[in-house]
Structures are given as C-alpha cells and as structure tokens.
Amino acid sequence: MFSTCYLLFLCGIGPVSKVLAAAGSPGKPIKRRLVLSLVVSAALFGSSLSSEASPPIKGDARASVRRAGGSLDMIRPAAIAPRYTITRLDLPAGPATRWQRTTAADLNEKGEVVGWATAPEIPGKIPTTAEFPHLATLWRQGKAINLGSFGGDFSEALGINDQGLIVGYSYLSRRPNPDSSPYTKFAFLWQNGKMTRLRGLADDEEGSTATSIDNHGRVVGKLARGKRAGGRAFLWQAGKVRFLPPGLPNDINAKGDLVGRASGYEGNALLWRNGRSIPLPMPKGDGWIRGRANAINESGVIVGAAEKKTNFPQTVLQALLWKNQTVTVLSAQRGSAADINNRGAVVGYAEKPGSRYESYAFLYSKGHMIDLNTCLPPNSGWVLIAATAINDKGQIAGNGLYQGNRRAFLLTPSQPQRALH
C-alpha cells in the first residue's frame, strides 16, 4: 500500500482517523481518522473539483440527502439537514510564499483542530518529504499555531485530546548511516508549547508515528522499522511502552480498544482488545479486500472502509460501519468513513453521484447520508471535499476548496441539532 503521505502529496492535500468522550471526562478524544485514509482518497477525488462554490441553498430549499445503499431522498433541511457556520483554518505566520495549503486531521471537544500546513509544490518534481515541507499546526479559535518539528522540514499533527495534548510525527534532518534515508521520523507529543519524542521508544526504532491520544494520555502508534520493525503497533503512556500484535492502529477509545488495519498490502481491518488483535468482518458477498478501521467511539462502534473488486484490477473503496461484529455498507458510492462521535454521527467523504473522482464531505446519521455542502450559507465560497473528524457537540473538521485554494475548515452547528446529533 502506498504511503498515505505520498498519496496526499500527489493530491495536494497531505496525509491523515476519532470520537471524543464528553468534555471533561477521562474518555478518548476524537479519532485521528486517519485522515490518513480519508483525506488521502478524498484528495484523489477532490483534485479535479472546480474552484467554484456549490450552488446557493435557499432557506426553504430542499437538501439532497443520500441514504445508505445509495438511494437519493429529498428531505427538507429544517427536518433533517443541519445548518453550520464555517471557519476557515488559515496558513501559519511566515513569508507569504512559504505555506500554500492547510489540512485538518483531528478535533477535540473544545473545537481545537490539528493538522498541518503544506509548502508549494516544486514544478516538475515528484513531491517527497525533502522537497515538499509540511508543518504541524494547531488551530485554536481559528488562529494557526506553529507546533514546530525535530529539525527537519516535515511534521504532521494527527491527534489531539481534550486537554490539548497533541501527537503526530516529525522528521529529523540527520543521516543515521550512508545507506538509509537522510530523513528519519519519530513520534512526538506536544504539550506546554514544546514538542518532545515519546520516551521509551529506542533510538533505533526509526519510523515511529503517533496517530491518536485519548483523555487518559494514552498514545497509540506504529513503528516502520527498527528492533521491532514491520508495522508494529504500540500503546504509550507516561514513558511506558507496550508493544501490541502487528498492525497499524488509528484510534483508541476510553475503554482502551484500538482500531486500525493489519500490516501489508492485503491487510484487513483490526480491533485490538485486551492485548489481542481481532479481524473485523467484511461485508457479505465476493470481492471485498483490504479493510481499514479509522475510528471507534465509546460504545465500540467502528467506522472505516474496504475495497471491493469491480473490473479486475480495479477496486472501489466504500465506507463501512461495524457494530457488534456486524458490518454495514454506508453508501454504494466510492468513499470512506473517517470518524464517529458518541451520538453515532459519522463523517467522511463520498464520490458525487454521476461523477468520477469528485468527492464531497458527508455526515451520516440515522440512516441518512448528507452532503455537507448543502448545509452551508448561500454563496459561502466553499467546496467541502472531505470531513475528517466530528466531536460530540456536532462540530466537524475537514478539508476543501475556498475560492479555489485548498484550506482546512471547522463547521459549527448554527443551532442545537436534535434531529441528527
């Protein structure tokens, strides 16, 4: 499987899976969706979107709502589709030409968003970590805060809890030996304005990434190589590391359950519980391969995606939900589910009906798939490509186009949304 970062680079968005416990509770924060998988594929779809905003929605207009399974219903926004105000998550301070795009990966109950800013691409070059800098970024009340790096030009923030502790990874600008990459990455914890490496991971365990942190301060992540190489999962807390069965974890809930996927190109979606890894079932029927679980809420409901073979060798990625080891396909459209909150509301991206590789950010709740573009004020200037995180207040973080420029966003419900949240 290609690296998430690489796919995102190519698409101009950058890499990226979350549910939070109620504010102030010791539960887990939102899932780091792995923006990873979501933003990735959404980037592929969204790369061909025009810079125009979606058509204005009048106050009494009917919103398009897509049910699970792909059928299209027309339901009045007042009855089903929520309304939002949108906050643009802008570039960090610095030279005007230094940063060009922003990407949101996670969100906490305070409405704080983490992700990264991306430098302009170099014409004629394939983007790499050495030539396509990323900067881990926190947005607090809409203001961008530079989280820094370990010295290299590439860092990404992937998870944040309700106490404002942030995790991700950063590259170092050093060469361990002549035969290895000049850039080595390590998982980080950011707190009190400082980025530090996770104590307890040995120096030779290079390629570590922290993907999520809960409200207990438990961090989950993976190792790419080193003494325990080969996609080894880890659980870290207060300097103590517990290594888990192999796999690539994306999220953790308050009960200590982890979700992610197995290592390798053909990896299946996994749940880690009580130190064991448990494969999650595929939908019924032939042709389902390569599952991935992106987020888990406090009730143990899991969301993610899997690929379904169509015309060999083509596959279609589709959004899934697992509950009590039963799997549901959320939509017949291409897409992926990135996060789920404790009220059961799911966000992600899906391909626009009748299009190819053009995506929209969705909210799925109570059996309805809603295009979040239909929930914005008229003439907003936005095209919402992918939603990557949702909290229990119904706020949604994601990525889109604002007047043709790639920007992260934060949606805040305009009023209490009893119908869906």
The predicted-structure confidence for 150-186, as pLDDT tens digits, reads as follows 987 889 999 999 999 999 999 886 544 444 555 578 8
Per-residue model confidence (pLDDT) at position 263: 82
Full strand arrangement of the beta sheet holding 166-173: 155-160, 166-173, 183-191, 194-197
Contact 121, 104 (CB under 8 A): no
The DSSP secondary-structure symbol of 154 reads B
State which amino acid sits at residue 258: L
- Separation CA 111–CA 84 (nearest Å): 14
Q: In whole angstroms, give the CA distance from residue 304 to residue 351.
A: 15
- Please, are residues 190 and 229 in contact by the beta-carbon 8 Å criterion? no
CA gap 4, 7 in Å, rounded:
5
Q: How far apart are CA 89 and CA 272, in angstroms?
A: 34
Nearest to 169 by CA among 201, 142, 145: 201
CB 233 within 8 A of CB 244: yes
**C-beta neighbour count of 421 within 10 angstroms:** 20
**pLDDT of 46:** 39
Q: Is 358 exposed, middle or buried (0-12, 13-18, 19+ CB in 10 A)?
A: middle
Residue 142 has a pLDDT of: 87
Strand stretches in 194-287, DSSP E: 194-197, 208-213, 219-223, 232-237, 240-244, 248-252, 258-261, 269-273, 276-279
Residue type, 55: P
Phi, psi of 13 (to 5 degrees): -115, -45
Q: Which amino acid is at 69?
A: G
In this predicted structure, what is the pLDDT of residue 352? 85
Q: Which among 393, 405, 350 has a CA at the least distance from the CA of 372? A: 350
Three-state DSSP state, 14: coil
Provide the angle, in degrees to the nearest 10, between the axes of the packed helices 4-11 and 35-46: 30
Fold of the 4-413 domain: Methylamine Dehydrogenase; Chain H (2.130.10)
For every one of its 421 residues, what pLDDT tens digit does the chain have, with 9 covering 90 and above?
333 332 332 233 333 333 223 233 334 433 443 444 444 344 444 333 332 222 222 222 222 333 333 333 333 344 456 899 999 998 998 765 678 899 999 999 999 999 999 987 666 655 554 557 899 999 999 899 999 999 878 899 999 999 999 999 998 865 444 445 555 788 999 999 999 999 887 655 567 899 999 999 999 999 875 444 457 899 999 999 999 998 999 999 999 999 999 987 667 999 999 989 999 999 988 888 889 999 999 999 999 999 988 776 678 899 999 999 899 999 888 999 999 999 999 999 999 877 777 899 999 998 899 999 999 988 899 999 999 999 999 999 999 999 999 999 999 998 765 545 5
In this prediction, residue 202 carries a pLDDT of 63
Helix (H) or strand (E) segment spanning residue 10 = helix 4-11
- Residue 418's pLDDT is 53
Comparing CA positions, the residue from 406, 347, 394 lying closest to residue 88 is 406
Cis peptide, bond prior to residue 56, ω within 30 of zero: no
Per DSSP, the residues of 364-410 read EETTEEEEGGGGSPTT--EEEEEEEEE-TT--EEEEEEETTEEEEEE
